[in-house]
Amino acid sequence: MTRLLIIVILFLIGTRYDQNMFRLRVWGVRGAVPSPLTPLVLQERIFARFNEFFEMGFISASHVKEFVTALPDYKLSGFGGNTSCYEVYTKESRIIIDAGTGLRELGLGINHDRSPKRKRECHIFLTHFHWDHIMGIPFFAPILNQEFQIHFYAVQPELEQVVRSLFRRPLFAIPFEELPSQISFHVLRPREKFLLGDFEITPYMLDHTDPCWGFRVEYQGRVYSHCVDTECFRVSRKDLGEDLALYSNVDLMVFDSQYSIGHLLQKSPSGHSSATIGLDLAIREGIKRVLFTHYNPNDSDFQIHRYREQTREYYEAAINRLSETGRRVHQVMWDFAREGTDIEIG
């Protein structure tokens, strides 16, 4: 009897967790242009890891799994080569933010998803129209499937014109008018809450080379904040003004970290930021967790790893410095994103 009761309680907890699920999955982490792992780089990594395997004293095939799963990302798989694409999802609904080349693989999964809980509709929010944020659209399988309704959203009024232009001959074989899916466009009002099912989505302005809007996504009291692409040169609360809301009471923030702080100082104005700036904001505003992304396509996985190590040193020094003032210091969970990162929000 007791056993049955425990099973029922665990089932109810599991169901409740499932219903409250609010997650982010990363499909594209690069800025500017895709940067796939080349066969030569992959081959060099495999040679180097085999050497390490034997140098560490492993001799049996049964040790391979243990060895490979313990490898840091930069030593084998890397961070990923697709451009900007993020899926924010619950058990029954999803929104997609940015439509870089990561959208292609996401689209294949959506196309084959026959779950009765999922409607055959897609909601794609665009921060801006630089190539790395839109080039996945023509290769998004649901847009070529008559069963789907596709909704595009952006603050910029050029939204429809831009998306239509991607399907123009001779750039693409199927003209926009002949696409089989049902496509509609929604121009959002700046800093005004937009309701989509259980999601509340509010666009706030980012600091980029062309107009670019981040999104604050709320679901059952939890908050996701999307801050890509941005140089984030407005940092103080006064300068941020109304856009401060993008950083307030946030559970998970995705933040532009294309450059190390050294590179950023050399390149400014660049339209992109650095992890150190995101961390300063997160510590000050009490953001729970930060995922850094939008890596420079010219940076190797090892260079990105080095930025992560520099960021760790910066973070520890910042926390120590603030702790010396005697005030309570907010600790931030943070990491650098890789394709396939899938985490709970809140």
The stretch among 30-38, 150-158, 170-178, 198-206 that binds Zn ion (CB under 5 A) is 30-38
> Quick check: 87 binds Zn ion (CB under 5 A)?
no
Residue 272 beta carbon to Zn ion: minimum distance, rounded to whole angstroms:
8
> Quick check: 80 binds Zn ion (CB under 5 A)?
no
The answer to whether 290 and 334 have CB atoms below 8 angstroms apart is yes
Q: Which of 87/132 has CB closer to Zn ion?
A: 132
Residue 128 beta carbon to Zn ion: minimum distance, rounded to whole angstroms:
6
The answer to whether 188 and 178 have CB atoms below 8 angstroms apart is no
Report the relative pairing of strands 342-344 and 23-28 from DSSP bridges: antiparallel
Selected from 229, 251, 285, 299, the binder of Zn ion by CB under 5 A is: 229
Element at 5 (helix H, strand E): helix 2-20
> Quick check: 272 binds Zn ion (CB under 5 A)?
no
> Quick check: 132 binds Zn ion (CB under 5 A)?
yes
Site for Zn ion in 92-131 (CB under 5 A): 130
Q: What share of the chain is helix, strand, coil (3-state, %, to 5)?
A: 40, 20, 40
User: What's the sign of the alpha-carbon dihedral 210, 211, 214, 215?
Assistant: negative
> Quick check: 30 binds Zn ion (CB under 5 A)?
no
Q: Which of 207/243 has CB closer to Zn ion?
A: 207
> Quick check: 231 binds Zn ion (CB under 5 A)?
no
Helices (H), 196-300: 237-240, 261-267, 275-285
Distance CA 121, CA 143 (A): 10
User: What's the sign of the alpha-carbon dihedral 124, 211, 301, 67?
Assistant: negative
> What is the number of the residue whose Cβ is closest to Zn ion?
130
The stretch among 73-81, 114-122, 229-237, 336-344 that binds Zn ion (CB under 5 A) is 229-237
Residue 101 beta carbon to Zn ion: minimum distance, rounded to whole angstroms:
12
What angle do helix axes 301-323 and 275-285 make, rounded to 10 degrees? Answer: 30
Residue 132 beta carbon to Zn ion: minimum distance, rounded to whole angstroms:
4
Which residues are at the interface with Zn ion (CB under 5 A)? 31, 130, 132, 229
